[in-house]
Chains A and B, each alone.
Chain A
Amino acid sequence: MLARLGKVWLGLILVFLYAPILVMAAMSFNASPYYQLPFEFTVEWYEKLSENRGILRAAARSVGIAMVTTVIATVLGTAASLALFRYEFRGKAVLRVLLFPPIAIPWLITGTAMLVFFFGIGLGRGTPAVIVGHVALALPYVIVVVTARLATFDPTLEEAARVLGAGGWTVTRRVTLPWIAPGIIAGALFAFAISFDQFVVSYFLSEPGDSTLPVVIYTAIRKGFTPEINAVSTLIIVVSMAVMLVAARFSNFGGER
C-alpha cells in the first residue's frame, strides 16, 4: 500500500517536472503558430529555425563558449582538488568552505557583482568576460565533484608510485588521474551544462547583438513568441538532458555502480 502510494507520488513529481517540457516539445511540431488544437504534425518551425541566422550564430557561440569554459574550469578545478587533497597549507579549511556559497548565491546577484567588478578592472563586457564569468560559476561544481571522487582514492598509491621512481607528473598521470577520471568527466559535463544553460550572467556580461543562445531566445520572446522558439528550446533540452544523464552516470548518482 505504502509502496504503491510512493510510486504514485514519484509519478506525480515526474509529471510536474516533465509535462511543461513535453507540451513545449509537442507544440514545436504543431502546425498552428497559436498553439491551437487539433494537433497537426509539421517540421515547418525546424525548417524556419534552420534559416534563422541570428539564432544559429548564437547557438554556435554558446557551444564555443561552453567548450572553452569546460576546458578551463575542468583543468583549474581538477588542479585545485588535487592541491586540496595532497597538501596541508594555511587557510585550507577556510578555502574549502568558501567554495560553497557561490553555489547558493543567486545568479542575478553574482552577475551584477561580476558586471561591476569587470568594469572596475577594465575587462568590461564581451565574450572574454562571459567566459571568465562562466568559469567562475562552474569551478565550484567541478571541485565538488572531483573532490568527492578523490575521497575514495588511497594516497598510499601515490607513495607506492614515488618509491618506484615516478616523479610528480608521472604519479599524477599514471596513478591518480586514471582513478579520478570518472569524476573529472562528470565535472566537465557539469561545467558544460552550466555554461550552455546560463542566462543571467551571460545577459549581464555579453555585448548586445553578440550574445549566447539563451539571451537571444529571451530577446526574441520579448518581441513575440513564435513556434521557432519552441523548436530551439526543445533542441536545447535534448542536448542538456543528454549531457546531464552522462554526467549522472559518471558521478555515480544513486550509489556505486
Chain B
Amino acid sequence: MARVSVEGIVKRYGTVAALDEVSLDFEDGGLFALLGPSGSGKTTLLRAIAGFVFPDRGRIRIGDQPVERVPVEKRDIGMMFQNYALFPNMSVADNVGFGLRVRKVGAAEERRRVGEALELVQLEGFGGRKPHELSGGQRQRVALARAIVTNPRVLLLDEPLSALDKALRVDMQFELRRIQREIGITTILVTHDQEEALTLSDRIGILRDGRLVQAGPPREVYNAPADLFAATFLGEANILPGGGAGIVVPEGVAPGAVLAVRPEAIAMTRTEPEGAGLSKCVGVLERRVFAGAMATCLVRREDGGEMKVVSRDQDIPAGLTEGDRLWLSWPVDKTLAIPPEG
C-alpha cells in the first residue's frame, strides 16, 4: 500500500488542456473519488497515474517513487476498467492468475492466491468458467479479484459500476467498500455519478475543464462548496437573491459571495415560522412530485425565483396542494456562502 501524489500535472492535446496544473494527494489506504462531467479530465488523471498517459509537466509519485517515466507494467498497480476487460480466451482462474503468472510466483502459490481472491469477491468455485458464462455483476467481481490479487500498491477504478443496473450497482458499492476496507488498499475511483462518489469515498475531488475545483471529505465539500460549479455539481443548490428580505446572511461572508441553500435543508409551513437565525421567504407551491419516501416540491418565490425543496412526505403540511401559499425557512447555518468566482 502506498500514498499517491500528483503535483502540477499538465497534459495538453493540441491547444486543449486535458489537465491543467492539477495537484492532489491520495492518502494511504483511503478511497478517493474523482468526480466531474465528461471532458473534465478525471479519466486523463487516472490514466496518467496508471501510466497510459504521460503528462507534459508535473510529478506523479506512488509511495516515494517518482513514476512519470515508469511504464505501466512496472508501476505495480491494479486497475478495473469500465467494460471489465476480462480476457475472453481464459477461464476465470486464469484471468485472476494472469498477473501472478507474469510475476512467476509458481503454480501452487498462484492457485492459493487466486482461490483467496475469488473467495474475497464471493466467487468460490467459479474458477473454471469462461467470462462469457458470467453475469455482469460476476464479471465485475472477477475484474476486481484480478486487480487486487497481485497486492498492488494502488487500485484504480475507471467508472467500474456504470455498466450495472441500479440495484446491482448499489450492492456492488457496498461490496467494493467492504473489500477496499478489508485489504486497506489506496483506491482512486473515477465516476460521473455524484451519489456513487458520496457513498463510497473518504475524500472526493471535483474536476472541471482540466482543473481541480475542490478536494476534501464529501461532507465538507457538500456543506462548503468552493464555487458555484461545485455547489451545483455535487448535489443541488437553490441560489438565493443577494440581500433579499428575510434572508439572514451568515457572519463573515466575503463580499460578492453567492448565497445558496440545499433543497433538503428547507422546511415548509403554512404560517410564518418563529425563531432566531431563521431565513424565510414566501412562495407559491407550483409542483409537488411524489417519489417514495421523499417528495420534491417546486416553489415560486414572490420575487419570481424558483426554489426546489426535498422533504419527507410526512413533514409537508397536511393538505398542501399546488397553488397554495406557503413559507419556506431554513437555519442560518444551513445557508451556503459560495465564494465569488476567481
Scan B69-105; emit 1 where CB is below 8 A from any A CB, else 0: 0011111111101010111110000000011001100
Q: How far does the Cβ of A40 sit from chain B's closest Cβ, in whole Å?
A: 55
Number of interface residues of B (CB under 8 A): 25
Give the interface residue-count category, chain A: 10 to 19
Docked-complex contact B79 and A161, CB < 8 angstroms: no
Scan B88-130; emit 1 where CB is below 8 A from any A CB, else 0: 1100000000110011000000000000000000000000000
Docked-complex contact A157 and B85, CB < 8 angstroms: yes
- Nearest B residue (CB) for A178: B89
User: Do A161 and B98 contact each other (CB < 8 Å), given the known contacts A167-B73, A178-B89, A179-B88?
Assistant: yes
Q: Chain B contacts of A179 at CB under 8 A?
A: 88-89
Cα-based distance from A178 to B77 in the complex (angstroms)? 25
Docked-complex contact B76 and A165, CB < 8 angstroms: yes
Scan A151-188; emit 1 where CB is below 8 A from any B CB, else 0: 00010110111111111001000110011000000000
- Nearest B residue (CB) for A159: B52
Q: Chain B contacts of A167 at CB under 8 A?
A: 73
- Nearest A residue (CB) for B76: A165
Q: Chain A contacts of B88 at CB under 8 A?
A: 157, 179
User: Do A157 and B87 contact each other (CB < 8 Å), given the known contacts A165-B99, A165-B103?
Assistant: yes
User: Do A159 and B81 contact each other (CB < 8 Å), given the known contacts A164-B150, A165-B150?
Assistant: yes
Docked-complex contact A160 and B102, CB < 8 angstroms: no
Q: Chain B contacts of A174 at CB under 8 A?
A: 87, 98
Q: Chain B contacts of A154 at CB under 8 A?
A: 83, 85
Docked-complex contact A156 and B89, CB < 8 angstroms: no
User: Out of B77, B86, B87, B89, which one reaches A163, CB within 8 Å?
Assistant: B77
Cα-based distance from A179 to B85 in the complex (angstroms)? 13
Q: Interface of chain A, helix or strand or loop or mixed?
A: helix
- Nearest A residue (CB) for B98: A164
A-B contact count (CB 8 A): 57
Docked-complex contact B72 and A175, CB < 8 angstroms: no
Q: How far does the Cβ of A179 sit from chain B's closest Cβ, in whole Å?
A: 6
Q: Chain A contacts of B87 at CB under 8 A?
A: 157, 160-161, 174-175
User: Do A164 and B102 contact each other (CB < 8 Å), given the known contacts A175-B87, A179-B88?
Assistant: yes
Q: Chain B contacts of A162 at CB under 8 A?
A: 71-73
Q: Chain B contacts of A165 at CB under 8 A?
A: 73-74, 76, 99, 102-103, 150
Quick one: which of A163, A166, A170 has the most chain B CB within 10 A? A163
Docked-complex contact B102 and A166, CB < 8 angstroms: yes
Q: Chain B contacts of A164 at CB under 8 A?
A: 73, 98-99, 102, 146, 150
Q: Chain A contacts of B86 at CB under 8 A?
A: 160
Q: How far does the Cβ of A152 sit from chain B's closest Cβ, in whole Å?
A: 11
Q: How far does the Cβ of A252 sit from chain B's closest Cβ, in whole Å?
A: 16
Q: Which of A162-218 contact B (CB under 8 A)?
A: 162-167, 170, 174-175, 178-179
Q: How far does the Cβ of B320 sit from chain A's closest Cβ, in whole Å?
A: 52
Q: Chain B contacts of A175 at CB under 8 A?
A: 87, 89
Q: Chain A contacts of B85 at CB under 8 A?
A: 154, 156-157, 159-160
- Nearest A residue (CB) for B82: A156
Docked-complex contact A160 and B89, CB < 8 angstroms: no
Q: How far does the Cβ of A204 sit from chain B's closest Cβ, in whole Å?
A: 43
Cα-based distance from A96 to B5 in the complex (angstroms)? 42
Cα-based distance from A175 to B89 in the complex (angstroms)? 8
Q: B48 at the A/B interface (Cβ < 8 Å)?
A: no
User: Out of A156, A166, A170, which one reaches B81, CB within 8 Å?
Assistant: A156
Cα-based distance from A178 to B146 in the complex (angstroms)? 20
Q: B50 at the A/B interface (Cβ < 8 Å)?
A: yes
Q: Chain A contacts of B74 at CB under 8 A?
A: 165
- Nearest A residue (CB) for B71: A162
Cα-based distance from A156 to B75 in the complex (angstroms)? 17
- Nearest A residue (CB) for B143: A160
A-B contacts, 19 of them at CB < 8 A, read A154-B85, A156-B85, A157-B87, A159-B85, A160-B86, A161-B87, A162-B71, A162-B72, A163-B73, A163-B78, A163-B147, A165-B73, A165-B102, A165-B150, A166-B73, A166-B98, A166-B102, A174-B87, A178-B89
Q: Which residues of A contact B (CB under 8 A)?
A: 154, 156-157, 159-167, 170, 174-175, 178-179
